[in-house]
A and B are shown apart, each in its own frame.
Chain A
Amino acid sequence: MNIVEGVLNHNRLALAKAITAVENEYDNAVEIMTALYPHTGNAYVIGITGPPGAGKSTLTDKLAKEFRKRGKTVGIIAVDPTSPFSGGAILGDRIRMLDLSSDEGIFVRSMATRGSLGGLSQKAGDAVKLMDAFGFDIIIIETVGVGQSEVDIVKTADTTMVVVIPGMGDDIQAIKAGILEIGDLFTINKADREGTDKLNIEIEMMLELNPEHVSWRPPINRTIASKGEGIEAVVDSIEDHQKYLTESGEIVKIRKARIKNEVTAMLNDKVNRYIDKNVVSTDEFDALVEKLQARDIEPYSVVNDIVGKVLK
């Protein structure tokens, strides 16, 4: 099977194989991405993040169904953490999205974080592009808002939605740590629980303090995802945000920044690998380290020398 042609012809198996190739860094991955890149840039990307168990997958399931009602096809990438002990993972997001599998307009892919620092955002970014080339109108990425690399992924979306829930103790502290700033919209899920009003007020206060929100004020929606309540309003808010980005021209800036980030990450990655292979893993380098340890030389000129040679 030709994977590239398959993806362009809406072959689901080809899409699945293409994502695996990228994820596992198979030999044909670069070839696939190179051929498909010109066919990307059409999908609208939504990032969903929030604390563990907030209902992100349940929400994603319901949002996907609502988008389908509105005539859009939906690709979903659901990221779950790899166990640092075994390198294995249990990817459980699909449990909440089972009935999506009978709809040809939806494709769900589970992805593990797999330890590689930064590598995750690159691979998830490539998976987004593959779904984009396949032709999905909307692509949703779900990640747990804990690690930096997880947050990095959703940050690059067109619209980033932060999901919070009442009753997490000191509610706002939990979301303050890095994910509040990135929300284009907020969804208070499990609004059937006590503390919803209080949490709503707290988020509003936080948003007041944030000077960045001058032209777009992040809306706060309430949902009971498990019952499908409040979903339409969330999709309305996403569409409002999309409209705002398009009309203000912000979308062009966001996407330019995304490409810049991506290419920078690719460059860094390539250089890192090159240095790892050609410098760090050499006997010569070992010898340098020994000299450094004996204080025969100092590291500053060593680094300058090596960089001079590598970048020539």
Chain B
Amino acid sequence: MSNIRVLVAKPGLDGHDRGAKVVARALRDAGFEVIYTGIRLTPEQIAEAALQDDVKVVALSLLSGAHNTLFPKVVELLKEKGLNDVLVIGGGVIPDADIPGLKAAGIAEVFTPGTPTSAIVDFINANVK
């Protein structure tokens, strides 16, 4: 009875939403409850939505290149709100070189173009608290 709830969100001004939608649908089809919030969210909106909807996972999508500032900001705000157990993952067009930095900032995993959605589902199932 306790379905895993996932927030799929796009921070910043990036309008590429195909990937986020593909991920949202794949997660729904894997039995997750996905709160889909669409494009152009501020990190604050994302963190507050995560709190109110009490999600276990925050899934961020960015193809614009602004991930190095926006992803860590979301993690910071989640912590500020007391959401310490939330699994944060990210995806989109993200250079390999940036991934270690993002992981150090609290992004559990990063999924780049071409990732089969089953890999995302497996990762969540294995790492969700």
List residues of A whose CB falls within 8 A of some B CB: 12-13, 16-17, 19-20, 24-26, 82-83, 85-92, 94-95, 98-99, 101-102, 107-110, 112, 114, 116
Contacts and interface: CB of A to CB of B under 8 A. Distances in A.
Contact of B51 (A16, A92, A116): A16
Interface in B1-28: 1-3, 24-25, 27-28
B90 to A, nearest CB: 20
B49 A89 contact: no
A299 B81 CA distance: 58
A285 to B, nearest CB: 24
B36 A90 contact: yes
B10 to A, nearest CB: 11
B45 A102 contact: yes
B98 interface: no
B31 interface: yes
Contacts of B24: 90
- What DSSP secondary structure best describes chain B's contact surface? mixed
A101 B28 contact: no
Given A86-B31, A98-B45, 16 more contacts: A13-B51, A13-B81, A16-B52, A16-B53, A25-B1, A86-B29, A88-B29, A88-B30, A90-B36, A91-B36, A92-B36, A94-B35, A101-B44, A102-B45, A110-B53, A114-B1
Contacts, number: 86
Interface of B: 1-3, 24-25, 27-38, 41, 44-45, 48-49, 51-54, 81-83
A94 B5 CA distance: 14
Contacts of A83: 28-29
A16 B37 contact: no
B48 A101 contact: yes
B45 A91 contact: no
Nearest to A11: B82
A17 B54 contact: yes
Contacts of A13: 51, 81-83
A110 B75 CA distance: 22
A24 B51 contact: no
Contacts of A101: 44-45, 48-49, 52
B56 to A, nearest CB: 10
Contacts of B83: 13
Contact of A98 (B1, B2, B30, B41): B41
